[in-house]
Each structure stands twice: as structure tokens, then as C-alpha cells.
Amino acid sequence: MISIKSDSIDRLFEVIMKLDNLEECYSFFEDLCTVKEVKDMAQRFDAAIMLNQGEHYQEVSEKIGISSATISRVSKCLNYSEGYKMAISKLNEKKDK
């Protein structure tokens, strides 16, 4: 995959890691992104969770209303990189506590 690493993106990720709670995240992301961009990111993460749980493309598409092309991209990332898997694992750790 193409690396997105840059000083600018490092700065963005560092500030995201410093946000303390959901309210701060909402405030920052409402300024940073359009509503559609935030919803699109949330849908892709939802798709990753569902695919990771073994749901099929059609089920994912019907439940969250995203295209098969987007689901395919999410699936490719689940199979060949670590980002979604790591995030899902961290989400599950939080639920277990």
C-alpha cells in the first residue's frame, strides 16, 4: 500500500491522540471534516467490524447502505493490513473492561 506518512499527517494524528473524550472528538471532527466524510469513515469502520465477524458483503451492504466497491476495499484492508484489525481489537478491549 502507498504510505501516507508525512509531518502534516503526524501532527494530525498526534492531536487526535490528545483528545480526551467523545465531546472533544465531535468538536474537532465537525470542524475538520464534512458531515458526509465523518459518516463515510464511520460506515467503513462498521463494515470492517461486520466483515471481521464473518458477515457477507450483501448483509453489510443492506445493513449500512454502502457500495460493494467500498466493502471490497475494506475487506482488502482487513486481509492485507493491520489498521482495522488493531482498531477492532482496541474497541473490543474497551468493551471487555
Separation between Cα atoms, residue 94 and residue 88, nearest integer Å: 10
Q: 3-state DSSP helix/strand/coil percent for the chain, to nearest 5?
A: 80, 0, 20
Provide the grid cell at 50. Answer: 461486520
Determine the pLDDT at residue 70. Answer: 96
Q: Are 73 and 67 in contact (CB under 8 A)?
A: no
The 8-class DSSP code of residue 53 comes to T
Domain with CATH 1.10.1270.10 in the chain: 34-96
What's the mean pLDDT in 53-81?
95
Q: Does residue 63 have a pLDDT over 60?
A: yes
pLDDT classification of 95: cutoffs 50, 70, 90 = confident
pLDDT classification of 2: cutoffs 50, 70, 90 = low
Separation between Cα atoms, residue 77 and residue 1, nearest integer Å: 9
Reduced to 3 states, what is the DSSP secondary structure of residue 82? Answer: coil
For the domain 34-96, what is the CATH superfamily, name and number?
TrpR-like (1.10.1270.10)
Could you give the angle at the alpha carbon of 67 between the alpha carbons of 71 and 54, nearest 5°?
35
